Structure 1
């Protein structure tokens, strides 16, 4: 008779598997509980930048790029058109004021000068002839005046004599009236001659003034024409260095065409490009700093060009006191342009962390430096080196300021 064998509920293999599952689940629960549910990441401290938050003097500034230009640049344009006949100096020459640079020729202008000079000489000759004629006419009138005056004196003498003789009945009435009529005639003639001589004097003066005015205008035109011919020789308006000379022998230049430029070497200015985002915060008098050979130099904004081109505008800055030795035209360098006054603030060094966090949070190290965890922060202004911390951090805190690209969504970092 067969005896039924009872099947065992728990085999040895099942017991081993069950124990293993229990241990695995327990380990997972332990890790979850001990980590608080936060995802962690092991990080090598040699691959990150750890910075210390500090309390110090803060000034908001922005980095801008500037290029060195002469303090003044004078453009040389052709005041008169013509053909290039001579070039006296080469590009880059140091010039003295009024030193000749090049000479143009213009036959039409030179012919006009000759015609103008001829006109002046002709006018001068006509003036001399007119003055001589007026002088002779005046002399004739003065002679007439003398004759009339003499005739009046004689008529007056005869009239007085005949009047006495007539009263004494020595002469007849007819002879007396004849003397009286002649005397009255000579008086009227004398008055008319004086009037004519007075008008002649006024006329001579008017003609003289008009002639002088006409001669002065003609001389001014001649002077202007000579200046125009003189402008065919292009000269240095001030002391400086000739740059960008664009002229060749035989080349034709039209009036107003650019021939070159003269850079005044008494000093330099810096032309700075700035993003249009800051245009409302830039004004004359603001300062910037520039480091050259480990020496800091201060610059001040002297002129703001408000025209915006391709999202940028420009300003001119001058060195406040000392100027670096050895700088040259066209040299470029970085300037820290101040946008605010200095103040005390909590500062965190700038770094790649801002790209991922936007300044809203940062990894802060624990007191023992073994763990870094997320903390919410609020940043204010910035300069080329630091962010201003408004809240979330204090002086002495250590934070990770390098890039967070490899941290993903981890809430804590285990530092090794």
Structure 2
């Protein structure tokens, strides 16, 4: 027959099991703490990047952000207010010189152009009419002058005859004076007529030149209208890629509205931006290194925007290899602009730890231990950083991210 176990015995048994469980958990926690502590105090050599301090040259640079852009890009604007009637191409299409891109409603400007052509003919006919009229008037005046010259010659003969008769006693003094007076009056009138002829000739020539000048001005206006009409027939200005086109058929487009963009996607440039505080360190001609992933492309600053906008200065980089296969329009890049050279300086490899000139706490390898040390760093480029003090040539410094060990002064290195 079974006998009931006393409650006191059951209570002691449960207490013993609880103590064992707590002891096991405590041991596990202690082991975990010890492992974590050991791991925190040590690092695998394969997981860190070391740089040996050496002496050499640093081409000092400032870093900037950049974006790959087509070396050539032309925006096509509508020269008139009109309406899109038809679209012939799509974005991404290759186009040649003169390829039609879209058609605008040109009825109004074509009508105006035809009216101007008609007015041009009217103006030409008017000038020709004026030229003939002037020629006729001047010819009549010139003929009249010749007739007057003949009459004056006749009067001169009469004066000589009267004088001769008067010397023979067959004439009178009054008759001589009368013929002389008539002769002199005729000569003065002829002189006046000649001056009037010359003046009228100058006036008619001037009037004709004014009309011809007005005609030339009108021709230029007609040529400008013709140019606008040609531009309104939206065509590609060169062989390129159509990167944008307004394909909204029927929409009205005001004058000057962008309707298409053609780009040369076989050659590229870099559009860079940098804080205006570094504006004095960027100038046209500065050597530039552009990093795209692991690729490094060289070039030079070709232009710098003279004004700062929102604390940013923009500049353009002309690449030596502007058709590199890694270049893609819109791709973000790191840009390093060289602006000075320092020779015979201590240097270490650049890394994520560097944020500018100043004092840093870096880990230096000493045997199998990494020891934290204060180091003064100076100028830099994309490869090296200048060491001002705190290190000696030949020492090895950790240049990888060690932020998780920032509270440690010593770290063991495991092979």
Using a 3 Å threshold, how does the CA distance of structure 1 residues 148 and 268 change in structure 2: closer, same or farther?
same
Q: Indicate the residue corresponding to 1:389 in structure 2.
A: 387
Query: Structure 1 residue 270: deviation in Å?
Result: 1.2
- Secondary structure at the residue paired with 1:159? helix
Tell whether the 8 Å contact from 2:299 to 2:320 is kept in structure 1 after alignment.
yes
Query: Whole-Å Cα distance in 1 between the matches of residues 200 and 350 of structure 2?
Result: 96
2:289 is aligned with 1:289: yes
Using a 3 Å threshold, how does the CA distance of structure 1 residues 121 and 394 change in structure 2: closer, same or farther?
same
Query: Whole-Å Cα distance in 2 between the matches of residues 227 and 128 of structure 1?
Result: 28
| TM-score, structure 2 normalization | 0.74
Q: Indicate the residue corresponding to 1:244 in structure 2.
A: 244
Q: CA offsets, 1:109-144, max 9 Å, x none?
A: 333333333333333333333333222222222232
Q: Indicate the residue corresponding to 1:319 in structure 2.
A: 319
Query: Whole-Å Cα distance in 1 between the matches of residues 405 and 293 of structure 2?
Result: 39
Higher Cα Rg: structure 1 or 2?
Answer: 1
Q: Indicate the residue corresponding to 1:49 in structure 2.
A: 48
Q: Give runs of aligned pairs for residues 66-77 of structure 1, distance below 5 A.
A: 66-77=66-77
Query: Structure 1 residue 403: deviation in Å?
Result: 5.2
Q: Give runs of aligned pairs for residues 48-127 of structure 1, distance below 5 A.
A: 49=48, 51=50, 53-59=52-58, 60-61=60-61, 64-127=64-127
| TM-score, structure 1 normalization | 0.74
Tell whether the 8 Å contact from 2:69 to 2:271 is kept in structure 1 after alignment.
yes
Match for residue 377 of structure 2 among 376, 379, 393: 379
The range that moved more, 249-258 or 211-220, is: 211-220
Using a 3 Å threshold, how does the CA distance of structure 1 residues 195 and 73 change in structure 2: closer, same or farther?
same
Tell whether the 8 Å contact from 1:374 to 1:411 is kept in structure 2 after alignment.
yes
Q: CA offsets, 1:12-33, max 9 Å, x none?
A: xxxxxxxxxxxxxxxxxxxxxx
The range that moved more, 226-235 or 381-390, is: 381-390
Query: Whole-Å Cα distance in 2 between the matches of residues 183 and 278 of structure 1?
Result: 95
Q: CA offsets, 1:85-128, max 9 Å, x none?
A: 34444433444444443332244433333333333333333333
Structure 1 runs not aligned, ≥5 long: 1-39
Using a 3 Å threshold, how does the CA distance of structure 1 residues 74 and 175 change in structure 2: closer, same or farther?
same
Tell whether the 8 Å contact from 1:53 to 1:394 is kept in structure 2 after alignment.
no
Q: Give runs of aligned pairs for residues 353-364 of structure 1, distance below 5 A.
A: 359-364=359-364
Query: Whole-Å Cα distance in 1 between the matches of residues 105 and 299 of structure 2?
Result: 46
Q: Indicate the residue corresponding to 2:159 in structure 1.
A: 159
Query: Whole-Å Cα distance in 1 between the matches of residues 189 and 352 of structure 2?
Result: 115
**RMSD of the alignment, in Å?**
3.7
Using a 3 Å threshold, how does the CA distance of structure 1 residues 141 and 241 change in structure 2: closer, same or farther?
same
Tell whether the 8 Å contact from 1:299 to 1:320 is kept in structure 2 after alignment.
yes
Aligned residues: 374
Tell whether the 8 Å contact from 1:245 to 1:259 is kept in structure 2 after alignment.
yes
Using a 3 Å threshold, how does the CA distance of structure 1 residues 272 and 147 change in structure 2: closer, same or farther?
closer
Query: Structure 1 residue 55: deviation in Å?
Result: 1.0
